[in-house]
Amino acid sequence: MELTLPRVRGRRLAAGGSLLTLALTGALTIAPGTASADGRGGHHPPPPTGPVVVATGLDNPRQLSFDDGDLYVAEAGTGGTEACQPGPEGGDICFGQTGAVTKVSRSGQRRILEGLPSAAAPDGSSATGPSDVLVRDGHYAVLMGLGADPAARTAPGAPSYAPLLGTLLGGSLRGNHAWAPRVLADVSAYEGRANPDGAQVDTNPVGLFRTRGGWVVADAGGNDVVRVNDSGRIATLGVFPTRLVPPPPFLPPGDIPMDAVPTSAVRGPDGALYVSQLTGFPFPAGGSNIWRLVRGEEPTVYATGLTNVTDLGWHGGSLYAVQLADDGLLAVPEGAPPSGSLLRVDPGGSHTVVADDLVAPYGVAFSWRHAYVSTCSVCPDGGQVVRVPLR
């Protein structure tokens, strides 16, 4: 299936960031001595030991990936002014074509793909839109989030481009020019037909991994991981269970069900898939797992005791995970973004903090001895990518 997507174009993103960017990243620490040399040629500064900002001014940045030394970032956008309506999580959402993909290279940062569907709060925060991006061999794939029943895309009043939400888009890329995408697969329509977990029909594709002959997609709304082959056919790889957990203090006693909400799936050194878990309400601290998934078998728990994990990846034989909110999403002060971290998940289930006090971190990608993490993932124009040294 191929759909026409208007206003897809590339432009240069101005350097620097807004006052919001500067205010929300004050917790990022740069080690003393990381400034330029004194100009007299007498010494070279030591390398930074803390996070270093490498991209700014991003709109609700989510997952990110490398190809041939260049970094690509999915920006969920800022919504718009069309088809405003009550959102699935409360409050209003408005639609627009503000989703984008940004390329970060040695020459700077540039939005190479724009005009993708986006839905967000009226202030542009907490958007749904492009959620992940992969580039290989002159082609790109962009995964689009949704966060609703797929039927909502064609409901009365929905904008004409809403059917692109919940799909996997792809196209050709030449340097800094991305050709208009076509629909490679409709992941959300598969949820509507198959509903693998048998619960409420809900879909939010958020994590993308390239595999031989296709892609692996984590559907946070559907509580499952699916495989999309190069012909667009979709099959379920694994379904993740709902658990009973204690309620938050403001609810009556008695355990309540909590959705799994898988957010990312990556191949491990043993060939199995490893799947991160955000969890649904009540988002308890320490309540997230990392699952190990082998095709044809039930998922098994690989690591426990994490909190609101949005992405993970293997690098140098170690598994790393991003926690969106270290204390749990319910503990985030009203009106403030969550504070999260990058962890190394050690054998045996212990966790080592690699970088903390990150503002709403979300995605992670690796290059050499560094991790690159998207931060302020719920912020319009305030998002960044930071480089974190791996010791």
Single-letter residue type at 2: E
Q: What mean pLDDT is predicted for residues 216-229?
A: 98
pTM for the model stands at 0.88
Each residue's pLDDT tens digit, 89-103: 778 999 999 999 999
Reported confidence tier of residue 47, pLDDT bands at 50, 70, 90: low
Indicate whether 219 pLDDT > 50: yes
Q: How many helices (H) and strands (E) does the chain have?
A: 2, 29
CA dihedral 130, 365, 53, 117 (to 10 degrees): 0
Reported confidence tier of residue 340, pLDDT bands at 50, 70, 90: very high
CA–CA dist 32, 150 (Å, integer): 51
Reported confidence tier of residue 245, pLDDT bands at 50, 70, 90: very high
Q: What mean pLDDT is predicted for residues 233-260?
A: 96
Please report, for residues 26, 50, 306, the alpha-carbon distance to residue 15 in angstroms, rounded to integers and kept in the order given: 19, 22, 35
CA dihedral 33, 37, 42, 47 (to 10 degrees): 50
CATH of span 11-23+50-389 = 2.120.10.30
Q: What mean pLDDT is predicted for residues 117-123?
A: 97
192 phi and psi angles, rounded to 5 deg: -65, -35
Reported confidence tier of residue 48, pLDDT bands at 50, 70, 90: low
What pLDDT is attached to residue 242?
96
24 phi and psi angles, rounded to 5 deg: -80, -10
- Of 340, 5, 355, give the one whose Cα is nearest residue 180: 5
Lowest-confidence region among 36-45, 80-89, 266-275, 344-353: 36-45
Q: 118 exposed, middle or buried (CB, 10 Å; 0-12, 13-18, 19+)?
A: buried
Compute the mean pLDDT over every residue in the chain, rounded to the nearest whole number. Answer: 88
Indicate whether 19 pLDDT > 50: no
Reported confidence tier of residue 88, pLDDT bands at 50, 70, 90: confident
Q: What mean pLDDT is predicted for residues 132-141?
A: 96
In the chain, pLDDT over 70 holds for what percent of residues? 87
Reported confidence tier of residue 333, pLDDT bands at 50, 70, 90: very high
CB-based contacts of 136, cutoff 8 Å, min separation 6: 67, 210
**Domain map (residue ranges) of the chain:** 11-23+50-389
What pLDDT is attached to residue 323?
98
What pLDDT is attached to residue 91?
84
Q: What mean pLDDT is predicted for residues 8-25?
A: 28
Reported confidence tier of residue 49, pLDDT bands at 50, 70, 90: low
